[in-house]
Amino acid sequence: MLLPNTIKHLRFLLLHFSIRLVNVTRSQTLSTPRFILRTLLNLAKKSKKMKRLQLSSPQSGETPKLKKLKTNGLPGEASQMDGDGWTKVEKRKHKKAKKAEIKVDMTQPRFMYNNAEIIKRNHAIGIDEIRELVLHVISDAPPPNWLRVDNAHQIQKVVTLLIPGLTPELLSLPPLPTSATVNPNIPLSIPLLPRTPNAETPPQVPFIAATFSHACPTRAPGDQNRMHSVLSAFFHGPVSGEEKKRRIMQRLLSENIRDRDPSQYLLTLEQMIENEYPIPSYLADVFEQPEGWVETPRHTHHDQLFSSAAKGKNTHHQKIYAIDCEMCLTEDGKELARVCIIDFHSDKVVYDQLVKPYKPITDYLTRWSGITAEALAPVTTTLAEVQAHVLRLLSPPPANPFSTTSPSPPPPTPILIGHSLESDLKALKICHPYCIDTALMYHHPRGRPMKPGLAWLTKKWCGREIQMGGEGGHNPEEDARACLDLLRKKLEGGPGFGEFKTDLESIFERMARSNRRAGGGVGSIKSAVVDHGNPSVMHGNKANTAVGCSGDDEVLTALLEVIPSHSFAFGRFMGLADTLGWTTPKPVHDALPSAPPPPATPDTLTPVLEKLNLHLKTLHSSLPSRTALVIFTGHSDPRTMATLNARKTVFENAIRSGKTGEEIGPDGRWTASDARELESAVELAKRGLLFLGIKP
């Protein structure tokens, strides 16, 4: 017996077939086999389709028939089972989820080296290029051409670590190619960690191999005879075009307003604090005056005068004194031995006095100070007497109590000028509010925080040489006059005089005026520096947070604290470099270099490497998702370069002082062979490695 639905379906097919017959053209006969076959096939297909539609739409009260489940053992597969064991599989949701996963994976941020672009170069990646990469990822700097950064806007934070001492040997990396046909600047593929712990040469810092796929060769800045500061190259770079235009307009406006007023070069309170000047108590409560310190009295119109100077009003009646001090070494450190003061307007020496230190002298430092035992033997003047005299020069004269006329306002407090003037004020133990510093008024060719030397500035901008006394030492009068000449040159040439064409700025200044690539307007990039010593007065002085540490353990602890609340964080681990003997003290002037320490033994090196590896693992595990981790070594072993440079300096100083070749001796001479050896050592010292990765 046929169901009602089946009868309806057959009627529909007969009606459809009759309509097709009517539409057949006269030239086509029904006896054509091909036509009949094609018509029947089409009807059969439509019949099957109608049957599926009927089965998928059950009548009220009917039970739907379901597909039998084909189990593939796939986890998370959505299904629906009835009581008879029949299951309806929801495959579309599973496919959708897989597509979403693939899409998310394709949008993950990642670093991709551009080997084709690197091959075109004749040099390795520079430290300045690492800085520009960081600025591109975290702010609005243009992308580098040697690296592709996919989806940089999704990177939430950047953590940069400087770890000197990580050499290819310690990381079990292949040596850099020396063949002329192989480019030594191509990133090296890092071997995978061995499956068994008994490998022949396992990496001593396995975190690197487990986290990064490539090690990119880098090159530190410098010339053929020396390597420049890696920290300075990373933290300071040229300003952008827009910022340079803004500075030029500001400079022109300043020149039009201030003309030749010396007060425009007064240090601000922030500059004095940044450069560790002794600050008078009435300016700020940031300097604790120990016993024996004095300060210039506060002027009754101090605030008004300071405001006038800031606005560029001429202060021709304000006295300006150039000052220079020389010191001797005593049991308590360096103490004042001579002070010289010259008036700017009259160019006359107003005070020049030898001083008897309180403590017994252990070294007269004659080669720098010019002070000898014979010169100081008859001197009885003490530091307290010198302070009283200097304060009389710097204080306004007292009012005349017998004057019948109305008292005129006292003259303004004089300005002191000197080179690295904070050292002279500390030697005098005097706090003074108005200071001009030629070391800050003029720029170093390599930019801040480097300070130019007084002898170099005088030769560069005044065209004369000073401090040529050799063993006789410096003359404080000569140095003080050099400061006055540099001030006059600055007044004649304007605020831009003595600055180099390439204006430099801190990486943190650049971040402060940039938008955050991951989202956020100007000022949203918070930065932090964690380093040994006191980074707040050096490369970290422009960061939002600067933390000084005394060891790698403190560096790790501070980084873990600052990373959650900062977009960019920099840290430096120095334990490995210290153990290797790479950290050498600054050479003493005219002193022969000391012998290098013996190489580190495996017994001393292994625990240091294990500790470094633990620090890196701990830090990486705490990083938020999508944090870029940038690790660079900066340079290689600098000891040979430092030893040769010290020998070269001793030889050059001996020649300047008038010594002959016989007096210098064969051991102290500098030869062409030594020069070639120095160039080779410098190139080896400049080599470093870069590791780039993003935590998923």
pLDDT digits (tens, 9 = 90+) for 422-453: 999 999 999 999 999 999 999 887 666 778 99
Amino acid 530: pLDDT: 97
> Which of 583, 689, 589, 651 is closest to 225 using CA atoms?
651
- DSSP 3-state of 93: helix
Among 29-38, 306-315, 549-558, 647-656, the range scoring the smallest mean pLDDT is 306-315
Question: For the segment 145-172, what is each residue's pLDDT rounded down to a tens digit?
Answer: 999 999 999 999 999 999 999 999 888 8
> Which of 694, 696, 692, 695 is closest to 188 using CA atoms?
692
Q: Which domains does the chain have, with CATH numbers?
A: 89-239+506-585+598-637+687-696 (3.40.720), 242-398+411-493 (3.30.420.10)
Sign of the C-alpha dihedral computed for residues 637, 639, 642 and 644 taken in this order: negative
C-alpha separations of 515 from 138, 511, 512 in Å: 9, 8, 8
> Which of 94, 271, 120 is closest to 186 using CA atoms?
120
C-alpha separations of 620 from 107, 289, 567, 594, 693 in Å: 22, 44, 16, 39, 11
| 94-98-99 Cα angle (round to 5) | 120
Sign of the C-alpha dihedral computed for residues 137, 141, 143 and 146 taken in this order: negative
Among 130-139, 465-474, 610-619, the range scoring the smallest mean pLDDT is 465-474
Among 313-322, 376-385, 592-601, 644-653, the range scoring the smallest mean pLDDT is 592-601
State how far the Cα of 156 lies from the Cα of 628, in Å rounded to an integer. Answer: 8
Q: What contacts 222, CB < 8 A, 6 or more positions away?
A: 228, 682, 686
Amino acid 565: pLDDT: 95
| 485-487-490 Cα angle (round to 5) | 110
Check residues 76 and 234 and name the one with the higher pLDDT: 234
Q: Would you give the distance in Å from CA 206 to the centre of its chain?
A: 26
Question: For the segment 73-94, what is each residue's pLDDT rounded down to a tens digit?
Answer: 434 444 444 445 544 555 666 6
Mean pLDDT of 491-505: 76
C-alpha separations of 434 from 298, 305, 318, 442, 500 in Å: 11, 11, 11, 18, 26
- DSSP 3-state of 290: coil
pLDDT-derived band of residue 196, with 50, 70 and 90 as boundaries?
low
Overall pTM surpassing 0.75 (yes/no): no
Among 262-276, 404-418, 566-580, the range scoring the smallest mean pLDDT is 404-418
pLDDT-derived band of residue 328, with 50, 70 and 90 as boundaries?
very high
DSSP 695: E
Mean pLDDT of 302-327: 66
- The mean pLDDT of the chain is 81
Mean pLDDT of 104-120: 84
Mean pLDDT of 125-148: 94
pLDDT-derived band of residue 613, with 50, 70 and 90 as boundaries?
very high
Among 96-110, 477-491, 605-619, 631-645, the range scoring the smallest mean pLDDT is 96-110
- Tracing tokens 């080779």 back to the chain, one arrives at 680
Q: Is the model's pLDDT at 596 over the cut of 90?
A: no
State how far the Cα of 685 lies from the Cα of 640, in Å rounded to an integer. Answer: 8
Among 166-175, 342-351, 394-403, 439-448, the range scoring the smallest mean pLDDT is 394-403
Amino acid 312: pLDDT: 46
Check residues 70 and 694 and name the one with the higher pLDDT: 694
State how far the Cα of 383 lies from the Cα of 39, in Å rounded to an integer. Answer: 121
Phi, psi of 608 (to 5 degrees): -70, -40
Q: Is the model's pLDDT at 218 over the cut of 70?
A: yes
Ramachandran sector of residue 276 (left: φ over 0; alpha: ψ -120 to 50; beta: rest): left
Residue 694's H or E segment, with its range, is strand 687-695
- DSSP 3-state of 11: helix
Amino acid 25: pLDDT: 41
Amino acid 433: pLDDT: 94
Q: Which of 177-181, 396-400, 409-413, 618-622 is the most confident on average?
A: 618-622
- In one letter, which amino acid is 534? N
Among 17-21, 56-60, 599-603, the range scoring the smallest mean pLDDT is 56-60
Under 8 Å between Cβ of 151 and 211:
no
Under 8 Å between Cβ of 357 and 364:
no
Instruction: Report the 10 Å Cβ neighbour count for 123.
Output: 10
Mean pLDDT of 383-396: 92
Mean pLDDT of 285-292: 86
Check residues 363 and 106 and name the one with the higher pLDDT: 363
State how far the Cα of 517 lies from the Cα of 139, in Å rounded to an integer. Answer: 5
> Which of 515, 638, 644, 695 is closest to 165 using CA atoms?
638
> Which of 584, 579, 616 is closest to 601 using CA atoms?
579
Q: Is the model's pLDDT at 8 over the cut of 90?
A: no
CA trace torsion 206, 210, 211, 213 (10° rounding): 110
Check residues 125 and 403 and name the one with the higher pLDDT: 125
Q: What is the 3-state secondary structure (H, E, C) of 541-607?
A: CCCCEEEEECCHHHHHHHHHHHHHHCCEEEEECCHHHHHHCCCCCCCCCCCCCCCCCCCCCHHHHHH
Under 8 Å between Cβ of 503 and 247:
yes
Under 8 Å between Cβ of 567 and 545:
no
Under 8 Å between Cβ of 281 and 295:
yes
- In one letter, which amino acid is 191? P
Amino acid 507: pLDDT: 93
State how far the Cα of 136 lies from the Cα of 518, in Å rounded to an integer. Answer: 11
Amino acid 442: pLDDT: 92
Residue 256's H or E segment, with its range, is helix 241-258
User: Going by DSSP bridges, is the β-strand pair 188-189/627-632 parallel, antiparallel, or unpaired?
Assistant: unpaired
